[in-house]
Amino acid sequence: MNSIIFMGPPGAGKGTQAKILCDTLGIPQISTGDILRAAVKNGTQMGLEAKKYMDAGDLVPDSVVIGIIKDRLVEPDCKNGFLLDGFPRTVEQADALDKILNTEGLKIKRAINLEVPDDELLQRLLKRAEIEGRSDDNETTIKSRLDTYNKKTLPLLDYYAAKGNLSRVNGVGNLDTVTKLIEKELA
């Protein structure tokens, strides 16, 4: 079973690479960002609550995100595996995920961290904001998101390294090169 976590700062290419990999492996991509943005767009109660945090560049509270993930992982399309894109983002979320998976008799096969320097990330995200018109991609919010990532999410690298299932992948380069590096780590 392929149960994979994609980690990396905002703009590292997690979503792009996840789509490619999920098509290849025949597993669903579970993107908390996509789920939360859809809830915001649809104006749901959870979406309105999440929007306050997202617009400020902060992480959405664990209680909201963990509930979403728990519900999603028990859906039938996850029986052969899944790729989590953007979750967990904190050690507390990783612990909660482990508890959810243990209940189902599952574990994470590989945690892949896409590594990209901050100056490259800033340029990528500003370009994405231009193309997609995302309110959470302005320079101030991007810097706040990168700072939040560096403070709260980087400890996850130690968490998964201690479990022996962390792979660090250079996320700078052309799409095919990065995809091949990821596939090599999963082989």
Task: Name the residues annotated as catalytic.
Answer: 14, 89, 128, 134, 145
- Give the pair of three-digit tokens for residue 70: 């728990």
For residue 117, give the 3-state DSSP assignment. coil
Q: Give 78's DSSP letter.
A: G
Residue 175: strand, helix, or coil:
helix
For residues 13 and 113, what is the distance between their CA atoms, to the nearest angstrom? 10
> Considering only CA atoms, which of 118, 120, 170 is closest in space to residue 149?
118
Exposure class string for 126-139: b at 16+ Cβ within 10 A, else e: eeebeeeeeebbee
* Residues 6 or more apart whose Cβ sits within 8 Å of residue 103: none
Longest CA–CA separation in the chain, Å: 43
d(CA 143, CA 50): 19
